[in-house]
Amino acid sequence: MILGYTPPMTMNLEEMVNELFDVFDEDGDGVISRREFVGLVESLLHKREMGFSSNIFKQFDANQDNRISRDELVDLIVELAL
C-alpha cells in the first residue's frame, strides 16, 4: 500500500482520506499541492507519468485553485474506487 502502510479493514472512507491526506500533505498546509499530488498518484496507482497525474489533478481540483482539499480528495477516492 502506501509507504509500507496497510490500512485496517475496518477503516471507513473518512478515516482513509484523513490518513492519505496527512501522509501526502508533506508541508502541513492543509492542502495537497501539485508536487505532493504526483507522489500520491504514484503511490496509489503506480503510475509515474506526469501527464497522467496532471490530468487527474485538473479533474479533481474542482475550484481550480491549484491545490487538492480534503473534500476534493474524497471525490477522487470515491471516483477511483480506491
Q: Is the dihedral of CA 72, 78, 81, 82 positive or negative?
A: positive
3-state SS, residue 67: strand
**What does the pLDDT look like over 14-72, one tens digit per residue?**
888 889 899 999 999 999 999 999 888 888 877 777 788 889 899 999 999 999 999 99
Q: How many domains does the chain have?
A: 1
pTM: predicted TM-score of the whole model, two decimal places: 0.76
Q: Could you tell me if residue 54 is inside a domain? A: yes
6 CB contacts (<8 Å, ≥6 apart)?
Answer: none
Q: Which of 38, 37, 1 is nearest to 11 (CA)?
A: 1
Structural domain contains residue 1? no
Host domain of residue 41: 13-80
Please give the C-alpha separations between residue 47 and each of 13, 22, 30, 74, 78, in angstroms, as whole numbers: 23, 21, 24, 20, 19
Q: Look at residue 8 and tell me if it is in a domain.
A: no
